[in-house]
Amino acid sequence: MTELRVFGARFANPVLFAAGTAGFGEPVVATISPAEVGGLVTKSVTLEPRRGNPAPRVTEFRGGMLNSLGLANPGLEVVRKEKLPWMARRLGEMIVFLSVAGRTPDEYVEVVSALEAEGGFLGFELNLSCPNDVHRRGRPFCLDPPAMRDVLDRVRPLTDRPLLAKLAPNDPAVAATAALAVRHGADGITAVNTIPGYLPARGARRALGAGSGGTSGPAILPVGLAAVREIAAAVDVPVVGVGGIVSDSGARAYLDAGASLVQVGTGSFADPRCAARLARRLARRSEAVP
Ligand SMILES: Cc1cc2nc3c(=O)[nH]c(=O)nc-3n(C[C@H](O)[C@H](O)[C@H](O)COP(=O)(O)O)c2cc1C
């Protein structure tokens, strides 16, 4: 198979674990060999530890799942002192992106500045699109162009590492947002995050403690594909496709739509080996093509 180089790095295959769906790699080493999957995007890291939203924080429906984790994560210091050294020891050649989130541009700056000098990862994926975590004006950064620009303008000078901007599916101008992110320093675009969603209570129990959340899984595959297709036509940096991939045909559809890499999220909850399985199947298919 020909070598896959993206963002200046060699990937074993184009399949990555999506942010927030494989922690800091713990479930990866518990279920597969890290060499089976091209990479991992970590849970989004924030300046302070976050306990997240009240339970229940995930619920299922026929097309996928709804979550309102609220970016529960151990915070910058634990990631620096414990998670990064563990990942460097245990994840081998697997390419790691650190996902970063914040409520203000200053928070992104603090997290990136503190982690930039550490080893064990290739680049940063800026989570600018979490429906469960909005900035002061009540929107995710990517749906507020001046705010998104501010984050990128502040973060870009802090690092020479690849910087990915993760965008939202409910953006009526996603291609323009991607082009703006690239003009302000993004080396790649990840599309898409979850799409805002709500499910009714079952009996006396609310579907989600926070009320509403983000929809993921097979139901959003066409939404992600449409976004990637539009973005790939508008920018000349690599696009990373994510949303609803649970099979090699879903991954292939993203690659055909213009993605250079793909990520698997919800698919790993249903089957922790999903990403490895579809990476293997993609490789077989590409070997079969002359
Ligand atoms: C339980 C859960 C937690 C997530 N946490 C994060 C996160 O911390 N940061 C982020 O950028 N995206 C997060 N996401 C979004 C996924 O990375 C992905 O963009 C989305 O789920 C769509 O892909 P999928 O349909 O394959 O799950 C999370 C998704 C789920 C289901």
7: left (phi over 0), alpha (psi -120 to 50) or beta: left
State the closest ligand 1 atom to the C-alpha of 44, by its place in the atom list counted from 1.
8
Residue positions annotated with a catalytic role: 130
The predicted pLDDT at position 279 comes to 97
- pLDDT for the residue numbered 287: 61
Q: How many residues does the chain have?
A: 290
pLDDT at 82 over 90: yes
197 lines ligand 1 (CB under 6 A): no
- Give the position, in ligand 1's atom list, of the atom nearest the Cα of 217: 25
- pLDDT value at residue 134: 60
Opening angle at CA 122, ends 278 and 103, nearest 5: 95
CA 159 distance to own-chain centroid: 19
| Distance between Cα 153 and ligand 1 center (Å) | 25
Q: How far is the CA of 289 from the centre of ligand 1 (A)?
A: 32
Domains recognised in the chain with CATH numbers: 4-288 (3.20.20.70)
Strand partners, 186: none
> Which of the listed residues 40, 193, 208, 261 should we mutate to test ligand 1's pocket, taking the one with most ligand atoms within 8 A of CB?
193
Task: Read off the amino acid at residue 25.
Answer: G
For 112-165, the pLDDT digits (tens) are: 999 999 999 999 999 999 876 666 667 899 999 999 999 999 999 999 999 999
199-215 confidence digits (pLDDT tens) = 999 888 899 988 889 99
Q: Is the CB of 147 under 6 A from ligand 1?
A: no
Q: For the segment 6-50, what is each residue's pLDDT rounded down to a tens digit?
A: 999 999 999 999 999 999 999 999 999 999 999 999 999 999 999
pLDDT at 238 over 60: yes
pLDDT at 193: 97
